[in-house]
Amino acid sequence: MAELASERDITTIPKVELHIHLNGSIREETASTLARRHGEDPGTALRLVDGRYPGHYANFGGFLDAYMLANQFVRTPDDLELVAAEFARGQAAQNVAYSEAIFTAMIYVRNGMEPTQMWAALNRGLAAGGPDTRIGLVVDAIRDFGQAEAQATIDLVEAAQRDVPIVGLCLTGVDSSEPIENFNILREAATRMGLGYQVHAGEMGPPPSIWEALDVLGADRIGHGVQAIRDPELLERLIREQVPLDVCPSSNVSISLWPTLEDHPVAEFWHRGVNMTISSDDPPFFHTTLTDELRHVVRLARLSRDDLEGLQRRAVRASFADVATKAAVTARIDAWSAAG
């Protein structure tokens, strides 16, 4: 049997992360700086536990509370520039060659940020990672806020598309009181603008939410999809059609979907041939990083160096990046592979 990928392999490999929320990447130190900037005591306002986010939550709602407490302090373009710059530097420090950063623009528009200034701040911040840290934005609408907010999100993207590196649209959130067909405007807008379309499904939602994401919403990629483990027919379809799933193991354990990483389906997905890639979702809120997630998957699914490399190449293929970006990232992986 091939040896497991080494710690050096895991840290040095040029990585591709397709599922990380920019709004969920705000580290405790950054959120504390922003809270102070707006006149609040960080420990109290952010409900930190020993200086950190709780890291474990009874359910998705518990996580969302911590996430919204941090996001309430991203009010000005300068605040957002700081968040984006720290995100980009964090990806660079982990050798993440390409990231798809999910960005809920409407949270900051609702906080009072003017859209043109918001996008400009984002561009300035993301540049802090340097030219080898490529980042595409996937702008999401939260289904709980309904069709009107999804349309507002589309309008924002349509106005900004030429100025900001937007590569996709996304539907997140948990529940909607509206018919799911109301969100087809996102699929139509993505097609019209030449963008990819990712739908969060099969996280809190049961397996039918994944069927729906594919057959009603027309998703190109599924965010999470891990509840497919409970539906053999669905799992076979995902494998047969090689539907890309963004799998985020620590996120799922942190919101109590499985008791431990050992109980999580990631190893079974790997061995069955699911077209999954690995991401960190909202890393500081789950006390993790992409590098940690890859460490976990190497251990749980017993990945070799070649497997780890294959996983990054698979993420390049499943990404919404343009041809030139895919070629540049592939060249970095080729160089790493040849260097041994």
* Binding region for ligand ADE (CB under 6 A): 21, 24, 172-173, 200, 203, 251, 281-282
Contact region for Zn ion (CB under 5 A) — 276-284, 289-297, 303-311, 317-325? 276-284
The CA dihedral of 333, 335, 338, 340, to the nearest 10 degrees, is: -80
**C-beta of 18 vs 308, nearer to ligand ADE:** 18
203 binds, among Zn ion, ligand ADE, none (CB under 5 to 8 A by kind): ligand ADE
To the nearest whole angstrom, how small is the minimum distance from the Cβ of residue 21 to Zn ion?
6
x/- map, 233-272, Zn ion, by CB under 5 A: ----------------------------------------
In 3D space, the residue among 61, 26, 15, 314 whose CA is nearest the CA of residue 203 turns out to be: 61
**C-beta of 9 vs 246, nearer to Zn ion:** 246
**Count, residues near Zn ion per rule CB under 5 A:** 1
Label each residue of the chain as H, E or C: CCCECCHHHHHHCCEEEEEEEHHHCCCHHHHHHHHHHCCCCHHHHHCCECCECCCCCCCHHHHHHHHHHHHCCCCCHHHHHHHHHHHHHHHHHCCEEEEEEEECHHHHHHCCCCHHHHHHHHHHHHHHHCCCCEEEEEEEEEHHHHHHHHHHHHHHHHHHCCCCCEEEEEEECCCCCCCHHHHHHHHHHHHHHCCEEEEEECCCCCHHHHHHHHHCCCCCEEEECHHHHHCHHHHHHHHHHCCCEEECHHHHHHCCCCCCHHHCCHHHHHHHCCCEEECCECHHHHCCCHHHHHHHHHHHHCCEHHHHHHHHHHHHHHCCCCHHHHHHHHHHHHHHHHHC
The residue number with the shortest CB distance to ligand ADE is 172
**C-beta of 250 vs 325, nearer to ligand ADE:** 250
Catalytic residue among 203, 233, 241, 293: 203
Could you confirm whether 203 is annotated as catalytic?
yes
To the nearest whole angstrom, how small is the minimum distance from the Cβ of residue 125 to ligand ADE?
19
252 binds, among Zn ion, ligand ADE, none (CB under 5 to 8 A by kind): none
**C-beta of 220 vs 281, nearer to Zn ion:** 281
In 3D space, the residue among 238, 220, 234 whose CA is nearest the CA of residue 318 turns out to be: 220
To the nearest whole angstrom, how small is the minimum distance from the Cβ of residue 132 to ligand ADE?
27
To the nearest whole angstrom, how small is the minimum distance from the Cβ of residue 335 to ligand ADE?
33
The residue number with the shortest CB distance to Zn ion is 281
Residues 277-306 that bind Zn ion (CB under 5 A): 281
To the nearest whole angstrom, how small is the minimum distance from the Cβ of residue 172 to Zn ion?
6
**C-beta of 86 vs 203, nearer to ligand ADE:** 203
251 binds, among ligand ADE, Zn ion, none (CB under 5 to 8 A by kind): ligand ADE
To the nearest whole angstrom, how small is the minimum distance from the Cβ of residue 169 to ligand ADE?
14
Q: Which residues bind Zn ion (CB under 5 A)?
A: 281
Active site residues: 203
